[in-house]
Structure 1
């Protein structure tokens, strides 16, 4: 350890001051001791796969001494073991910057970068996990569960993936499947609080206590310890080989019996394994087909929505074009009517006034239109509700012969005056 004031090496551990500058280094020694103490605790917990406890201890160690390279490298390894590759790389990069030479972090980074396919696969699983998390928030738990199974097949150490899949299964009341998934997560990290909390919820719902460690038994239902004791006793006794005379007939029957036993063993062991492989492949193809079908359904819904929006836009454009056409027709008819009116062609003016859409006229144009209609005796023009209704429009008659008529000179006359 070096002095924090002058950087001199502190050779004597019993001294509470620096022999070079005289600075009090008692607090520095206590901090260094606590950092190493928590590092040792983290190392012990990591050795028994208590990864969550190891992470907490190593973080506490780095809180006391951020330059504890061993603690930082071990923290990166624990993160990598839990599937947190980005966090592991961050710790190793910091360690490399603090100590560029003779640092195991360089070897860890080089190994990870040398296998680019594995690194790409891990990055892809992290991206798919984020996508599955977004699908869960949107309410698509089935698609998220399918994607999480594929993620865990590629990255079997991603504890967050096990937790999310177990949470989906617990929501669907699939308690047995959730227990199996959580037991796989517990094999990676025995004391993860999320895993233990989910297992307690499963135990409360099913009434069955989950045992994370099974006592494996040997032959005839005995435990390995009992079997080891029996083997040890038998190993102390030397049994002489028994002499037995063999003939050709007995040898033939023995050979046939061995062939039959081999065929039976093949039928009982190999055939079920082959069938299981076929069933597994068929299930995987079914999962891939379901995922592809759901993706195509989503794309079809999106395309239908876009087509509907395009139809609505086209309809609006068509309506606007019709309105502009009617407006243009209105102004053209009014202009022709006014020209004919000025030229005293009252019949032509009245005919053109029937093609005018009054709702498209401005206030000034409406005044001109009303004055011409009143002068010619026209009852009204064309409207949107009655484009073809010119049967009841025309000249308004004030008597039996009509209020507007043409004489031999082509001039219009009425009872009130002459135009």
Structure 2
């Protein structure tokens, strides 16, 4: 069973033998009130009985661009954002992600990563808001050489369409691959143009390299004025991280060396690595091993990156490997990303926080399964009939 509306049960809370709270995993009963965890457990009313299932804070994913595969499942084959995002919403909930930051790219490339597609995302999210189960936000991935898009990005931030800004710079890497026809064809297909047209776009973007630093400073300042968290993406060296830190970028997203990650932590910045990196045991781009970064205290956040199942699976994988216990592993996918994104209302199951929780069956080692997802106090996804008890009845039996 899967649902996006079980509000008719008017749940008062959830009880279970293994609830992850501030003191670790222990038996607990959590009350729900107006979408938040209540200060006290309810004394009556229907309450989900999680039994021996794990009750964990919902996953907060601050970087996920797997939605692109729902919008464009094959190069040159695109579908409307509405149906695509409904599919994505179901995927997110099924993998325990209750808050998703979609990595929407605004780039000189055009096509899937151009302005028109970003606008379709904004329009679809606004239209689907009443029926989406998870909390959907936009993480704007801005390509540094797209100077013509700076004012557009600033306008979007001022209009409240963006919840996190990241500065990306993939142009130098792409430029080095322009003689690789296979890679160039991939870029051109995504950009919905011919290969020579893509080369022309890259050359045009490169012409104003001297203006990039000043324009990125202006863009970051606008984000900070809008009270948005800002990340720099793929920092290659310490000087780059120092530069972005000075300009108010408090998140180092996928640092490319151990030294950059270490500096970021020394500066008090958040460091984001990919959860797929943990599952695969390595980065697909030759970046640092995320598991080793976690063991060294150099990773504070794990993100889905390109694979929505990864955060849930990676947290349990870290426990299996003996890197950390489950509460510490879970902070990497819930509390810490919420903190990095400036979301002080979620990431922990504590009074006053949003009642975003997932029920997980971990009885099969290495294969945790989400049985239910609760968002803002409402059941939004379930794969089984959820047993409920009336707390008043339980109290009278105990007496």
What's the TM-score, normalizing by structure 2? Answer: 0.25
Higher relative contact order (CA 8 A, sep 6+): 2
What's the TM-score, normalizing by structure 1? Answer: 0.24
If each structure's strand is expressed as a fraction of its own residues, which one has the higher value?
Answer: 2
If each structure's helix is expressed as a fraction of its own residues, which one has the higher value?
Answer: 1
